[in-house]
Amino acid sequence: MRTLTLGSESLPFTDRPTGPDYPPLPYGLTLDQAVAVYAHEVKAGDLVLADFSDESGTRRAGHVPTPYRADPHTLRECPCEGCEECDDVDGWTLADHSRVADVGWRFVCLAPSEHGKSEEGQEPCAIELRTRPVAVIHAAIVDAAEEATRLPVRTYGVMWSADFEASSPQEAARLAYEQFKSYVTDGWPPELEITDEEGHLTVIDLNATERTEGDR
């Protein structure tokens, strides 16, 4: 466990739970990179990890099972077309119309529900009190970690060879083209030779599970 500081307040930040409902943080990120901010200070692209209870005394960290990239909105600007969280807010304000004004200054939506409408199995809007502390990893750190995990784009030469009996190069080319098209319809792709920029050869049989490598 570590402690996050927000103003004069110290927030005990427990270790992230483990198990199938709590996958590891993406891109090799760790809780050591987290900071505490108020919900209304969360910026677009920040990775939201947890919020802290508003109980008196020691606040408890509630870890988000699947951390999400923030897309903050006011509740009035939220593009959600209806989710259980928004329905609860509507019910709360309809029960007492004097609360309508509270929505704008008391709450913030950190991320709209997936696809604009929360359906069964989808996450509802992430609505928080504006003054509630949350743990985030800032967007710039997340972006840098994501970039570092991307495989570099390289140039590869792809070769396929086969022998054909033909009366001319043009006929051989036509036969090769027809056979190559047949791989699509027959569902039996050819063996391919892949050469990288250093001349390293990889022979790949797309129908096999093993790859053989060697140097040209």
Give per-residue pLDDT as tens, 116-130. Answer: 444 455 678 888 888
Name the pLDDT band for 161 (thresholds 50, 70, 90).
Answer: confident
pLDDT for the residue 94? 57
| Contacts with 51 (C-beta within 8 Å, 6 or more apart), sequence order | 39, 61, 62, 64, 128, 132, 133, 134, 135
pLDDT tens for each residue of 12-69: 999 999 888 999 999 999 999 999 999 999 999 999 999 998 766 678 899 999 999 9
pLDDT tens for each residue of 142-155: 999 999 998 888 88
Do 3 and 12 form a contact (C-beta atoms < 8 A)?
yes
- For 168, 178, 185, 186, the CA distances from 171, given in Å and listed in that order, are 5, 11, 21, 22
Q: Which residue has the higher pLDDT, 50 or 169?
A: 50
Indicate if the pLDDT at residue 210 is higher than 50. Answer: no
Average pLDDT for 127-137: 92
Do 46 and 142 form a contact (C-beta atoms < 8 A)?
yes
Which stretch of 83-97, 159-173, 195-209 has the lowest confidence by average pLDDT? 83-97
pLDDT for the residue 102? 66
pLDDT tens for each residue of 76-119: 777 776 677 777 776 666 556 656 666 666 888 898 886 444 44
pTM over 0.85, yes/no: no
Q: How many angstroms separate the CA atoms of 152 and 54, rounded?
A: 45
